[in-house]
Structures are given as structure tokens and as C-alpha cells.
A and B are shown apart, each in its own frame.
Chain A
């Protein structure tokens, strides 16, 4: 069965650079979530989209933005990267109704040097 696909798997950037992370949800899933997981931390919710519109907003810095496209894939854009942005970024998808389990991608490991 198709799963949530994230790319790239690993990304190395320098401070003040930009990064774009991509997420391809499970077919027919209408909701996408982005989570950030720092080393040894629990995943923190960043932002979500339902039917290409922003649905909910968590602890996403102003330097980050995201969108969901017509094919339901989503991109997380990160600018002016800081050392503290180094983390594992997970994308998850689900059906909004009924709200059931989330399916997670394998994540993008971002290292900011």
C-alpha cells in the first residue's frame, strides 16, 4: 500500500540558508500535518492543511511557511535557517472525517551547520 512520502530524506544546510521539504500524502487523504521533532524530544505540531487551505497552526516560526497544492502534496519552506532548526521534520496525512489515525512519513532529517 502507498504510504506518506517525504523528500529529501536528509538535508544539510548552513545558517541563514533556505530549505524546502516536500510531502506526498496517501492518495485520497485530504489533510496534511507537519511536525518538528528535536533530538530526544516529542513531535511538536507546526501546521496543518485541509483541502489545500491552512487548517490549524501550531508552533511554527514566522520564518517558516507551508502550503498544500492542487495534487494535495505539501511543501514546508524554511528561511533564515538557525542552528536550532536542526530536527526531524515529519509529515502526516489522514482523512478529516472521520478523524482517525495519522499516517506518518519517514521524515526529513535537517541539519543546520
Chain B
């Protein structure tokens, strides 16, 4: 079945450091890929998405490129802020009515 694998956390960075959170997937067909963010005490929020190969999703300084050849959708940000501290989930949505499949999540802590 479809699955998503994320790098294990927690990840601790200093403010203004470069962030990469790796995500790879296994799926049949041509899924859409997403990054969701969960801030402390809050629900899941869509951060960015890409619906086809070579698409780049971007939002709030975060970027991720859909790489079909490497089945990856790594999340990057050039300069993290303390307010970026949260748990980040990579997710996959295949065609039809299949449910969203999440990775295990990666906790990011940014220190000033």
C-alpha cells in the first residue's frame, strides 16, 4: 500500500539556520504530495502541496519539490525562525477516494 517515510526527529536548529526535512514515498499511480504543520496545541494546517512531478510547492518561506525519479518531497527553508517550531508531517493523497496517508512527523525546535 501507499506509505510515507520521514526523517526521524527531533530536529533542533538555531535561528536563521537552513532546514531540510526529508520525505520519501511509495505509491501506485501519480499521487499528490503535501506538507502539513502542527503547532503546539493546535490542529493540522496545510503548509504546501504539489500535485505532479517537478511541481514546487511553497509557502511562508518553505519549499518542496515533487521528485518522481527519487520519489521524494523534501521540505526546505533557507532561514528558520523560532515561530517555525512545530511538528511537520509529509503526506500523500492518491487518486480516487483513498484517505490521506501521513508520515510519522518530524518535530522541529528552533532556538534563538
- In the assembled complex, the Cα of A46 lies from the Cα of B44 at a distance in Å of 16
Q: Among the listed A55, A100, A101, A104, which residue makes an inter-chain contact with B43, where contact means beta carbons less than 8 Å apart?
A: A104
B102 CB within 8 Å of chain A: yes
The answer to the question of A48 belonging to the interface, with a C-beta cut-off of 8 Å to chain B, is yes
Nearest A residue (CB) for B96: A99
Q: Is the CB of B45 within 8 A of A104?
A: yes
Our pick among A48, A50, A101, A106 for the contact of B34 (Cβ within 8 Å) is: A101
Question: Beta-carbon contacts of A89-113 to B below 8 Å, as 1s and 0s?
Answer: 0101000100111111111000000
Instruction: Report the minimum CB–CB distance from B103 to chain A (whole Å).
Output: 6
Chain B residues within 8 Å of chain A by Cβ, number: 24
Q: Which residues of A contact B67 (CB under 8 A)?
A: none
Q: Given A42-B89, A42-B105, are A102 and B100 also a contact pair (CB < 8 Å)? A: yes
- 8 A-B pairs in the complex with CB atoms less than 8 angstroms apart: A42-B89, A43-B44, A58-B99, A99-B94, A99-B97, A100-B93, A101-B49, A102-B93
For the complex, is A56 an interface residue (Cβ under 8 Å from B)?
A: yes
Kindly state whether residue B32 has any CB partner on chain A within 8 Å: yes
A24: Cβ under 8 A from any B Cβ:
no
Interface residue? B69 (CB, 8 A): no
Q: A99-B32, A99-B93 given as contacts; is B99 within 8 A of A45 (CB)?
A: yes
B24: min CB distance to chain A, Å: 15
Contacts of A100 in B (CB 8 A): 32, 49, 51, 93
Tell me whether A31 is interfacial, beta carbon within 8 Å: yes
Q: Once bound together, how far apart are the Cα atoms of A31 and B32, in whole Å? A: 17
Question: A56 CA to B43 CA in the complex, in Å?
Answer: 22
Chain B: minimal CB distance from A80 (Å): 25
Distance A33 CA – B46 CA, assembled complex (angstroms): 15
Complex CA gap A92/B91 in Å reads 14
Q: How far is it, in angstroms, between the C-alpha of A110 and the C-alpha of B46 when the chains are bound? A: 23
Kindly list chain B residues whose C-beta atoms are within 8 Å of the C-beta of A92: 44, 100
